Amino acid sequence: MEKLPTLRETVEQYGLLAKKSLGQNFLLDINITQKIIRSSLAAQQKADFSDSQVFEVGPGPGGLTRAVLAANPATMTVIEMDKRCIQIMEDLRQAGYAQLNIVEGDALKFDFASAAQTSPHNHVVSNLPYNVSVPLLLGWLKQISLFESLTLMFQKEVAERITAEPDHKNYGRLSVVAQLTCHIKTLMNLNPNCFVPAPKIWSTVLLFRPLDVIPTTEILQKVEKITELAFGQRRKMLRQSLKAYDNLDAVCQKLGIETTLRAENLTPQQYLLLAQNL
């Protein structure tokens, strides 16, 4: 492989000032990006990505990209909207990483389901653009059976919503859907000073691995609808927030769920039961 410039040299070469409109905050410390990948692989009891296809959204100057490539993936696909970063990815490929596929476009429109059909082992690794992190996550969770893992960096407050337990102020729709589909492990928290430019908040890296039994797409859609109603009026009792369901009283009585409870009092499993019975 050709000797690569440092990430800071790459940023200077391309005048790569992060764009707020694209939700960019660059991670330029290769020691941190390597630690993220090592931690993810260790938690999965994997030595590397040698049998896998890895997807990355918003690679930026390529810090995580380099760390993934060092873990020897069979193929790696990066999806990027910023033309400056596309050229950086081209430079990486020309430096000897022929397994790197580059897609210029919007990750929200990328067909991950079709792309995942080319390998039995698929992983996503990404320092997610802040402005699309939740829509991307929900999209992956709805087709989580396609992936062996998601290693994703979020704003810390978003990570806290994902991992929140019932009866906590951060517990909500995102918590329920994520916890009904995945085992979720916090890998690390990152100080704002790790990034360029430094955001005002900390970031958190989470590892998602699919549960052995995952609700069907139809049931997950019902969970989303129920939680939208319940958490949309989270201070109201279920008998008010879910009154659109004519059979609510009968179903709740059957399941042993009090209709005087509020949205944040129900566990993810109780929302699943409601979705299966309402």
Q: What is the pLDDT of residues 217-243, one digit of tens each?
A: 999 999 999 999 999 999 999 999 999
Least confident among 22-31, 66-75, 82-91, 139-148: 22-31
pLDDT of residue 244: 95
Which residue, chain included where needed, has tokens 């806290």? 160
| Centroid of chain to Cα 11 | 25
Whether residue 178 is found in the same domain as residue 228: no
In a domain, 230, yes or no: yes
In a domain, 160, yes or no: yes
pLDDT of residue 192: 84
E-only strand ranges, the chain: 26-27, 53-57, 75-80, 100-104, 122-127, 149-155, 182-190, 195-196, 203-210
pLDDT exceeds 60 at position 165: yes
> In this predicted model, which residue has the larger pLDDT, 192 or 17?
192
pLDDT band at 130 (very low <50, low <70, confident <90, very high): confident
pLDDT of residue 26: 75
CATH number at residue 272: 1.10.8.100
Whether residue 43 is found in the same domain as residue 173: yes
In a domain, 1, yes or no: no
Query: pLDDT per residue over 69-118, tens digit each?
Result: 999 999 999 999 988 889 999 999 999 999 999 999 999 999 999 999 99
pLDDT exceeds 70 at position 20: no
Residue 17, CA distances (Å) to 14, 50, 93 in order = 9, 33, 22
CATH number at residue 48: 3.40.50.150
Nearest-angstrom CA–CA distance, 275 and 224: 9
C-beta of residue 230 within 8 angstroms of C-beta of residue 257: no
Whether residue 184 is found in the same domain as residue 229: no
pLDDT band at 36 (very low <50, low <70, confident <90, very high): very high
Q: Domain boundary residue among 210, 228, 255?
A: 210
- What average pLDDT does the chain have? 92
pLDDT of residue 6: 79
Whether residue 136 is found in the same domain as residue 48: yes
- Domain housing 237: 217-277
In a domain, 2, yes or no: no
> In this predicted model, which residue has the larger pLDDT, 124 or 129?
124
pLDDT exceeds 70 at position 2: no
Phi, psi of 212 (to 5 degrees): -65, -35
Phi, psi of 182 (to 5 degrees): -140, 150
pLDDT exceeds 80 at position 197: no
pLDDT exceeds 90 at position 1: no
Query: pLDDT per residue over 47-56, tens digit each?
Result: 999 999 999 9
> In this predicted model, which residue has the larger pLDDT, 1 or 221?
221
Whether residue 186 is found in the same domain as residue 254: no
pLDDT exceeds 60 at position 22: no
